[in-house]
A and B are shown apart, each in its own frame.
Chain A
Amino acid sequence: MAARSALPAAAGIGLRAPHLRQVQTERPRVAWFEVHSENFFAEGGPAPAALDRIRNDYPLSLHGVGMSLGSTDPLDREHLEKLRRLIVRTEPAVVSEHLCWSSVGGRHLNDLLPLPYTEEALVHVVSRVAEVQEALGRELAVENVSSYLAFAEATIPEWEFVAAVARRTGCKLLLDVNNIHVNATNHGFSAETYLEAIAPDAVVEIHLAGFDASGPCLIDTHGARVAPAVWELYRVAIARFGPRPTLIEWDVDIPAFEVLEEEAATAQSILVASHALAA
């Protein structure tokens, strides 16, 4: 296994079940992979074995979808322990979770639900991120989520909330540029203002994905190619933050691996252009 090292500032691909076998046998030229942590929580069997083989050949980012970071329920210690064991096993470059909540009153909704951006929620999330970083013994990267509603109680702009979580906890940020575009459209704010609020040093990874525009608001489906407007915003983000490890995510109607490679190549060309400008 390659020693634990930072992700390269290059395009990676979110690896999902339909492509696991192909990647193990063909070992495509991809700079790094990210997986959903929970999909490899099994004690044994084919899933962890596959991840071990992939980790031998590629840098890895672990992306959690189930910790319910912003919930007012106690943190799930068993879930945290499974994640901790997976981290020990795979020595990932980045461990991330979502700035959202998924459960209340012991009931899990298993979705990335939005927080009301209030001072109370900020104080709560800050203490939870600290608790998770303590339990895992390492730095966490938190990701901004897309949302289809805003709470009337909100008093803090989303970008200030996200920036404050990083500032107050010392955690890193996984900036989802597609989510910023989706929320800017859905809630009527400036995506550029959002980017300007984020400290470049905090950003360790960027996510790109496709949305669905057929409903009453943009829906972050991860089921399409990255939209032109999101590529534009990504260029702005890279110009501000510098080249960052950038992931292509696709979670529903998952296409052939080659389509993901094409999307990654587009991201890579933008990264290369920014490297050239910086040189």
Chain B
Amino acid sequence: MPSLRELQQRFAVALFADPGTAPAFAIAGAHRPAERIAIYRRTVFANYRNALGATYPVVQRLVGKPFFDAAVDAFVRAHPSRGGDLNVYGDAFGAFLAVYPPAGELPYLTDVARLEWAIDEANRAADATRSPDIVLGTLAIAPPERLPALRMRLEPSCRLVASEFPVLRIWQVNQAGYDGDDGVSLDDGPDHLLVRRDANGVALQRIAAADFAWLAALSARATLALAIDKAQGVAEAFDLGAALHAYIGNGTIAAVVDQG
């Protein structure tokens, strides 16, 4: 007699087998065992379609539901869920779309998905705790010779999304209830976006490429000196004072860390 573990393994295999395949375990009293497994298969895949549809509404709108559902089904097979909380499943969907052949004609789809995942993460991130005044105060009392070695922590909901396509515009014109001009020129990229949550919800802000490079470096725990290098690599005229003022002032930078 198969063990509990063997039965669970065979059940899982049957769920992902081709429709019509009889399961490799015995079902009591059912005339058509494959039909019973098919009920579970439908429910399981519907769960994933619904969950990813909630996370990726713009992708779904861009490709239509039949295409989206087929993409989700293929994604689930390529990147199985590893946890019991469907709210946090699907981070790799954007990367998957980049190599999913049917999506080949929509090169911006991957970046739209990455943006939607960033929005989803921003929505779930820990609440910000520090006020700009405290951060500015820490910076003000730092000895000048220590400044290059300082590191900065971004507020927990901050996500940075860059794309060669105008993904912000694509995202905006595909929001439910949007009734303006929905034309998008793919030549209007690139976009450098700061995604973060404030008291009014998640906001998307287009920022300068140099600011983006600077924040991306800081977010990867680079020192201030290295982050400035990255920013100047993008734009020689990067203005550190203005950037500090802007991103501490709006709460993006949540802490200054001097690791001595």
Residues of A whose CB lies within 8 Å of any CB of B are: 38-39, 41-47, 65-68, 71-72, 76, 78-79, 82, 101-111, 113, 115-116, 118, 120-121, 124, 148-154, 187-188, 215-217, 219
Contacts and interface: CB of A to CB of B under 8 A. Distances in A.
A188 B12 CA distance: 25
A187 B36 CA distance: 12
Contacts of A106: 82
Contacts, number: 137
A4 to B, nearest CB: 24
A150 to B, nearest CB: 4
Contacts of B203: none
Given A44-B124, A110-B47, A148-B39, A105 B12 contact: yes
Q: Which 10 A-B pairs have the closest CB atoms?
A: A66-B84, A152-B26, A44-B127, A42-B124, A43-B126, A149-B36, A72-B5, A108-B81, A104-B8, A44-B126
Contacts of B67: none
A102 B84 contact: yes
A110 B48 contact: yes
Contacts of A67: 84
A68 B11 CA distance: 14
B100 interface: no
B99 interface: no
A148 B25 CA distance: 14
Interface in B13-27: 15, 25-27
B36 A104 contact: no
A150 B28 contact: yes
B44 A104 contact: no
Given A44-B127, A148-B39, A149-B33, A76 B9 contact: no
Nearest to B83: A108
Q: How large is the interface on B (under 10, 10 to 19, 20 to 34, 35 or more residues)?
A: 35 or more
B44 A111 contact: yes
Contacts of A103: 84
A39 to B, nearest CB: 6
Contacts of A82: 85
Contacts of A78: 83
A39 B87 contact: yes
A148 B4 CA distance: 18
B83 A66 contact: yes
A150 B29 CA distance: 8
A47 B84 contact: no
